[in-house]
Amino acid sequence: MSVDTASLINSIQRDSNQSTPKVGMGATRLMWTDRHAYTVIEVSKNGKRCTVQQDSALRVDRRGMTDWQDWSYTPNPEGRIETVSLRKDGKWRKVGDTDLYAIGWRDEHHDYSF
């Protein structure tokens, strides 16, 4: 695993072929071991830059502090807005930063071990 994530799932998503962004599709911010769900709200003409907005995520399972989690997502007009771009290495990163995003996949995950 690389230094930008300590999660196997996050590393797999980081290194996978990413979808071409389209307005309305899911996106995921890949943290160290957590993930946050976003929705693509704008795409540049060349498709190499897009704006994403954080969704409201509600945990809907009753499994407690486990890694097996089910979430429900709804758009959040007040959610954090980020601009991400496709870099030469094929990864989507926040503009002006190194934060990683997966495009075409929406997931929320909280790692209770940290």
List, run by run, the mean pLDDT of 10-residue segments along the chain (114 residues).
Answer: 47 59 95 91 96 96 82 95 94 92 91 74
Q: Is residue 30 part of a domain?
A: yes
Total structural domains in the chain? 1
Question: Does 13 reside within a domain?
Answer: yes
CA distances from 13 to 25, 42, 78, 92, 93 (A): 16, 22, 26, 11, 13
Q: Is the residue at 12 inside a domain?
A: yes
C-alpha count within 13 angstroms, C-beta hemisphere, residue 66? 9
**Structural domain contains residue 41:** yes
Residue 24 lies in a domain: yes
Assigned domain for 85 exists: yes
- pLDDT of 77 reads 96
Domain boundaries, position 93: 8-61+70-103
In this structure, is residue 14 part of a structural domain? yes
In a domain, 108, yes or no: no
Is residue 27 within 8 A of residue 38, CB to CB? The reply is yes
pLDDT at 72: 94
The pLDDT of residue 67 is 74
